[in-house]
Structure 1
Amino acid sequence: ALGRGVFVKELEAALRAGTVDLAVHSAKDLPTGEGPGLRVAAVLRRGDPRDALVSRDGSPLAGLRPGAVVGTDSPRRRAFLLAARPDLAVVPLRGNVDTRLRRLEAGACDAVVLAAVGLDRLGWGDRITERLDPAVMLPAPGQGALAVQVRAEDRAVEAWVRPLDDPATAAEVRAERAFLQAMGGGCRAPIAALARVADGRLVLQGAAVSPDGRQVVRGDASGPPQDATAIGERLARHLLAQGAGALAAEART
C-alpha cells in the first residue's frame, strides 16, 4: 500500500510546478519539516481530534469480547489498543474509510479504529460506537486539523487563504508538530500529542508507546499559545529524559 507521504509529495510537487496554487492536507500527514519553497498559510478550525472505535456488535472498547479482532493500519493506535486491552488481536487493515467499514461488516474483524473527524466529515458520525478518550488513546499530532499549503513566494494566494486560519488550532498544531519533530518521529511512529487552547493558555499532552503497548511514557506542558513551538520542544525533552526515545526507536527497528 502507498504511504500517505506519497500523496503529500505529489501535491507538493504540483504546487512547486505551478499546476495548483494551494494544497489542502490533513495536518497529521504533513512532514514535520516545512517543504522547501512552501509554507502553511492557514490551519482551519479543528474537528474532533479523537480516535473512534466502530464495532460490529456495538460494544465499546472495554466491552469487546476477550481476544476480539480489531483492525487498524496505525502503529500508534495498535500500541494504545494493546496498552488498554493486551488480550486483543490487533490486525493490519488498510484502505479508505469505506473499504475498512465494508471489511468490518463482512466479518474481517470485530471492530476498527479510525479518525473520528474522517467519519464526521463523511456524514457517518452515527456509525461511531465510541469516541475514545485521549486518556486511553492519545491522538496523532495534527489529527482533526486541515492545513492549507502555498508557495512561499506567492503572497497573493497566501493573503487570500490567510482569513481561513484559526489561531487556536494553528497554535495547537504547532505545539504537537514541534513535539513530534523533537521526539524524532514521523506520522507512522507510536508518538501521540494533543494540545488544547483554553482561557488564553495552551496545554499539551504527549506520549510515546512501545509497539506492544507494555510501556507508555506520558507527560504534559503548558504556556501561552504564542510559545507553542517551545512548549512542544520542552515536553519532548522531558519525555526523552524518561526514556521515550527508546520506545520510538524500538518501533523503527
Structure 2
Amino acid sequence: MKSAAGVPQGAALRLGTRRSKLAMAQSGMVAEQVRQVTGRDVELVEITTYGDVSKEDLARIGGTGVFVSALRDALLAGDIDFAVHSLKDLPTTPAEGLVLAAIPVREDPRDALIARDGLTFAELPSGARVGTGSPRRMAQLNAWARSHGRDIETVPIRGNVDTRIGYVTSGKLDAVVLAAAGLNRIGRLAEASELIAVDAVLPAPGQGALAVECAASDPELAAQLAELDDPVTRAAVTAERSLLAALEAGCSAPVGALADLVDDGQVTELRLRGIVGTTDGATLVQMSTTGPVPASDEQARALGRDLAAAMLAKGAAGLMGERTP
C-alpha cells in the first residue's frame, strides 16, 4: 500500500534538514515526535543550502529563502518526504505544491546575550563590540544603548553557534547575541549571560518556532504531521509573518515582531507587537495591537496586516533601507 505521493506505507520517512549542529538537533527532536505519531522510522537526510555555503552578509544576498530553497527543491523532487525549517527562515509567500503541515509548540522566542566575564548588556563597557548577523538586533541594541546614554559598536558576523561564541572566547568581541531557542536546543543555554527581555528587543517574526513542511500531494502524511501542530503557536506566528509580509520586508530586514497571549485572567486576547528601525538605532517605529483568541488563520493574518498598515502610516517603510551604525 502506498500514500498519494507514492511512499510505501511502513517505509522509513526521509526528513530533509540542513547540516548545521542546530538544524540536526531540532530535526532530531521533530523526528522523534514523528516516530511517535506515525509508528514509522525517520531517517535524516542532510542537505546543503545556499545560505550554508555563501560567505556574504545575509542582508546583502537577501536572506529570504536562502536556507530553505534547497530543502523545498528536494521535497518537490521527491528526494525527501518532509522537511524541518527554522520558521523565521521561511519566506512569507506560500510555496506552490507544498503544505506547512505543522508548527509545533514554540521555544523561548527571546534573544540571548553571551558576553565576556558573564556581563549583562547593561554592564558592558562603553565602546563594547557586540556581534550579530541580524539588522533587527542591531537596530534595537543600538536604540537601547542610545536611550541609556551608552556607546556600543554592533559588528556583523556570520557562522554557526560555535563560530559566533568563539568571537567572545577569543577576545575578538565583547559579546554576541543569538536566539535563546537555538542555544537551548543544542544544550548551551547555560552559556548565556542574559536572556534579553522582549520589552528591550523584540525577536524576529517566528523566532523560536519550527516549521514542518511536506508535499501537498501527500495529504495522508500531511494529516499525520499535523498532529504535531500547536494552534496557539500557529496563530501567533501567522500574525507575526503577516505583519512582515504586509511591510514587504524579508527575513533579513530590521523588523521585530512578537504575538503572545494577554494574561487577563481569561486569556481572551492575542497581543501583537512590531518594531521597525534603522540599524543605527536612531529612528524606530514601534506599535502594538490586540485580537481575539482563539484566532483563525485569517483573523491572525488580519491582525498582522492591520498593525503593518498603522506602522507604515507612521513612516516604517522609510526605515527599512540599509543604514549602518
Q: TM-score, normalised by structure 1?
A: 0.96
**One-letter amino acid matched to 1:10:** A
Aligned pairs for 1:146-225 (under 5 A) are 146-198=210-262, 199-224=267-292, 225=295
Matched, 1:244 2:308: no
Cα distance between partner residues in 2 of 1:44 and 1:20: 20
**One-letter amino acid matched to 1:53:** L
Q: Which runs of 4+ in 1 moved over 4 A?
A: none
Matched, 1:29 2:89: yes
Change (3 A) 1:251 1:188: farther
- Structure 1 partner of 2:4: none
Which fold has the larger relative contact order, with Cα–Cα distance below 8 Å and residues 6 or more apart in sequence? 1
For residue 251 of structure 1, report the CA deviation from its aligned partner: 5.5
Paired residues in the alignment total: 252
- Please state whether the residue corresponding to 2:243 is helix, strand or coil: helix
- Please state whether the residue corresponding to 2:276 is helix, strand or coil: strand
Say whether the 8 Å CA contact 1:69–1:110 is kept in structure 2. yes
| Aligned mate of 1:13, from 55, 59, 73 | 73
Cα distance between partner residues in 2 of 1:110 and 1:210: 23
For residue 93 of structure 1, report the CA deviation from its aligned partner: 1.6
| Aligned mate of 1:106, from 170, 177, 189 | 170
For residue 6 of structure 1, report the CA deviation from its aligned partner: 2.5
Say whether the 8 Å CA contact 1:27–1:147 is kept in structure 2. yes
Cα distance between partner residues in 2 of 1:116 and 1:21: 29
Cα distance between partner residues in 1 of 2:200 and 2:67: 30
- Structure 1 partner of 2:179: 115
For residue 92 of structure 1, report the CA deviation from its aligned partner: 1.5
Cα distance between partner residues in 2 of 1:251 and 1:21: 41
Q: CA RMSD in A?
A: 1.4
Say whether the 8 Å CA contact 1:72–1:78 is kept in structure 2. yes
Cα distance between partner residues in 1 of 2:241 and 2:235: 10
**One-letter amino acid matched to 1:230:** A
Structure of higher CA gyration radius: 2
Cα distance between partner residues in 2 of 1:63 and 1:193: 26
More displaced stretch, 19-28 vs 197-206: 197-206
Cα distance between partner residues in 2 of 1:250 and 1:203: 29
**One-letter amino acid matched to 2:68:** V
Q: Provide Cα deviations, 1:105-162, integer angstroms capped at 9, x if missing partner.
A: 0111000000000111111111111111111111000000001011122101101101
Say whether the 8 Å CA contact 1:79–1:209 is kept in structure 2. yes
- Please state whether the residue corresponding to 2:301 is helix, strand or coil: helix
Cα distance between partner residues in 2 of 1:33 and 1:98: 32
Runs of 5+ unmatched residues, structure 2: 1-54
| Aligned mate of 1:53, from 113, 123, 126 | 113
For residue 94 of structure 1, report the CA deviation from its aligned partner: 1.1
Aligned-pair identity in percent equals 48
- Structure 2 partner of 1:70: 130
